[in-house]
Amino acid sequence: MKLDALYPPIEPYDSGMLIVGDGQRIAWEVSGNPEGKPVVFLHGGPGSGVSAWQRQFFDPEKYRIVLFDQRGCGKSTPHAGEPAADLRFNTTAHLIADIELLRRNLGIAKWLVFGGSWGSALALAYAQAHPDAVSELILRGIFTLRRVELEWFCDGGAAVLFPELWEEFIAPIPVLERSRMTEAYHRRLSDPDPAVHVPAGVAWAKWEASIVTLRPDADVLAAMTEPSAAVALARIENHFFLHRGWLSEGQLIAGVDRIRHIPAVIVQGRYDAGTPMMTAWDLHRAWPEAEFVVIDDAGHAASEPGIQQALRDAADLFADD
């Protein structure tokens, strides 16, 4: 992965495990300048966890950079890749509460909220629930869990671009179950037998990894299909998709009035096949006050060069505010 547009690698100066209730602990870290402008990075998936390179979007001399693994993934416990994983306490509302608890525990009054893909949905939901805690928003690869978005990913929409990959995704599912792929995968991902849930998790993660970059990326594919990570991602993602994020249809776009006053930048790849541009466009139309940046030679992934540069530029824009 080339990160030419980003800042050099840095290491955290603080980290820990935050007890958030329901038997859950979330792993967090802080890097950059302890006296800098606070920013929180909301990862995608849901269930993908954070990576060290994601610190590099932010000027380490100007930002106090907070990364954390959402419930059930990364270094947070209990891990959703474990056979006995219980996702009852993993919902959008729980994650919003976790973000607020982390903010208060770190003594932060307001922070910039930076989220991509599922992280953009969580950022919108969090900001709409706690607008006074958000100084700015940077959103990438917009996803709001509307029916049409989920059907694109789970029920064959993206097959028009990736027919051979779609065939691989549906192959583990009997023909009579293929009209409801989310439910079919849910049954297999919930099965306690590793011989059932591990192949299902890898197949789900492979489908996602194969469509999120403009060109095939072997590093992304390898990272996302590592069995434990793949099962956690697939289980949590499928769980959220099955419940449509516990959101009403169109809720996050309809709720823009609560955050219209917050400075924001929306970054979207023109050829995003994971979260197609229709959703970013709908958000832009509802929220014209937010800066809207379209990268014409990019897909979905934040690691793509044009998206990297646009996200760093957005973070630099807000660094001194």
Active site residue 117: yes
Could you say which of 43, 79, 284, 300 is catalytic? 300
Q: What is the pLDDT of residue 247?
A: 98
Confidence at residue 48, expressed as pLDDT on a 0 to 100 scale = 93
The pLDDT, as a whole number, for residue 217 is 86
> What pLDDT is recorded for position 4?
83
> Catalytic residue at 300?
yes
Furthest-apart CA atoms within the chain: distance in Å: 58
**Options 117, 120, 210, 303, the catalytic residue:** 117
Exactly one of 59, 69, 217, 272 is catalytic; name it: 272
Using the structure block, give the residue that is written with the tokens 């990862």.
Answer: 43
Helix orientation angle between 227-242 and 147-154, rounded to the nearest 10 degrees:
140
Its pTM stands at 0.97
Position 40, amino acid:
V
d(CA 92, CA 266): 21
- Mark residue 173 as left, alpha or beta (left: phi above 0; alpha: psi -120 to 50; beta: remaining): beta
The predicted pLDDT at position 26 comes to: 97
Whether the Cβ atoms of residue 234 and residue 185 lie closer than 8 Å to each other: yes
Alpha-carbon span 144 to 251, nearest angstrom: 8
pLDDT score at 123: 98
How long is the chain? Answer: 321
Distance spanning both ends of the chain, measured CA to CA: 31
Q: Which regions of the chain are under pLDDT 70?
A: 1
- Apex 77 CA angle, 230 and 27, nearest 5: 95
pLDDT of residue 45: 95
